[in-house]
Structure 1
């Protein structure tokens, strides 16, 4: 009887859980929560606060920062944070992808990052029905896409652990075509995958503003799994080690 009562109470409380639980404190009640995309040089996207690590558990306290024109009560993007921008717009969505220097914002160079969108949070993108955005310090990449329909066709908010390249296919390169550089404060180069080619669209423009760092070592895939809203990588070497141990144990019986 007690279990049944508890289940009923949980069911009654479910509608109140409209958004993901906020694990960060304090919550900045005056922050801007309206993103926007006008061009490669004028867009506003979500970021966690300076030095707030890791990103994923603090998504609920993110705010909007603008590269170019500041609007909707947002903050200006930190100087030197955006290294390159790749703009694309078609009939159903608009997006900006590119490279960042996460060390400018004192972000953890080993943090796989997090996703801020209009599904898990009361955030929005001006003039669009739905949006999804990610900040990924470990690979120095960022992405944001705003869509004309509230569905998972173009703005898929259900695969946040798969990273920018899968959630928002596009260009993640510097102006010279090289991959986003590893974080300047990283002592060991990242092994994340080089992104695929860009999506098709009606308008593409690229801009960049240089930045220090070493080029990342190419990988073979994102190899990610859910971890409290973040992502964890599983290497081939790790899998091989587990298999070897299992075989050794089997042989001992």
Structure 2
């Protein structure tokens, strides 16, 4: 990731599991929810009618995503979607072997991120559905899906993380779980969830040319979605922030929010390194055990409420767009190479 000041102090932190050891806003509070087990657990019974809504995102062989419990557009099912996992875990449904055709699992010092291609009609998403965005907030403030939670052991132990976002349609998904923060880049900013029409390539920029490949990589950290550096003043970087354009009616009055000019891409695409490939992602469970006797045929989707676009990712220097500049001290996350990476503070 780019730096904007000459001096740096490297703060090295070890992986820790106590709430007090994480920056405020990183760890979720409260219970796992009434549909979920009290804690993540590997090796639970196979239940393809489960309504559990607990995801775990641990590795390329062990992760989960949300999808409908029955054939339905994402826009119509976002409040009650259920967990589907690559392995039997969390009392959730199991993703059938052959569903995923390519996965990229990225580890950074700020978040863990998973991109995937596949035939998600096997997860009850109708063929052609352009999908939508899921996050722990939602229209009712209790998450989409309601009661959905996400854990990861990427920092050394299972933790329930407060901020995450998942974009999914009938043949692609991208998922980010924000696992660290500091005074400049909060977990909420790194997992900013209000750019649902911009698509994976804008919100989670990276290499999307991996279909047919299953890889795990370390990666640099992107700027928070919609952030663009505009200038550096006395060692402090100014950012503009993009807000998605939207019009609506409330209490009989029309209103407009967001920016009329939409940027074409994220400011830059983070690089990845130390990539290792595996042949496939498989649990080895016979399809008949999952109640599958033939390939899903899919169905024609109605027009979804949320538009999901497949972007190609950003270039190294895209123009800023959005609201008036705000002043933030520059903080650059150092990519995770071994264990838990440090944070470089530039003055």
Q: What is the TM-score of this pair, normalised by structure 1?
A: 0.57
Offset, 1:205: 4.3
Aligned to 1:36: 56
| 1:43-122 pair list within 5 angstroms | 43-52=63-72, 54-67=73-86, 69-105=87-123, 107-120=125-138, 121=143, 122=147
SS of equivalent residue, structure 1 residue 115? strand
Offset, 1:42: 0.9
> Judging changes above 3 Å, is the alpha-carbon distance between structure 1 residues 205 and 97 closer, same or farther for their aligned structure 2 residues?
farther
* Partner Cα distance (1:123, 1:59) in 2: 10
| 1:153-192 pair list within 5 angstroms | 153-172=189-208, 173-175=210-212
SS of equivalent residue, structure 1 residue 56? helix
> Judging changes above 3 Å, is the alpha-carbon distance between structure 1 residues 91 and 50 closer, same or farther for their aligned structure 2 residues?
same
* Partner Cα distance (2:62, 2:135) in 1: 19
CA contact (8 A) 1:117 1:124 kept: no
Total equivalences in the alignment: 169
From 149, 159, 162, give the equivalent of 1:129. 162
Instruction: Give unpaired runs (5+ residues) of structure 1.
Output: 1-28, 178-196, 211-226, 234-253
Q: Comparing both structures, which one devotes a greater share of its residues to strand? A: 2
> Aligned-pair RMSD on alpha carbons?
3.3
CA contact (8 A) 2:163 2:191 kept: yes
Aligned to 2:306: 230
* Partner Cα distance (1:153, 1:206) in 2: 31
Instruction: Give unpaired runs (5+ residues) of structure 2.
Output: 1-48, 152-158, 215-267, 282-302, 310-347
* Partner Cα distance (1:33, 1:176) in 2: 28
SS of equivalent residue, structure 1 residue 60? coil
Q: Which runs of 4+ in 1 moved over 6 A?
A: none
CA contact (8 A) 2:50 2:82 kept: no
> Judging changes above 3 Å, is the alpha-carbon distance between structure 1 residues 135 and 114 closer, same or farther for their aligned structure 2 residues?
same
* Partner Cα distance (2:97, 2:51) in 1: 19
SS of equivalent residue, structure 2 residue 189? coil
Greater relative contact order (CA < 8 Å, ≥ 6 in sequence) = 2
CA contact (8 A) 2:68 2:123 kept: no
From 193, 196, 199, give the equivalent of 2:270. 199
* Partner Cα distance (2:99, 2:54) in 1: 20
Aligned to 2:232: none
Offset, 1:176: 5.3
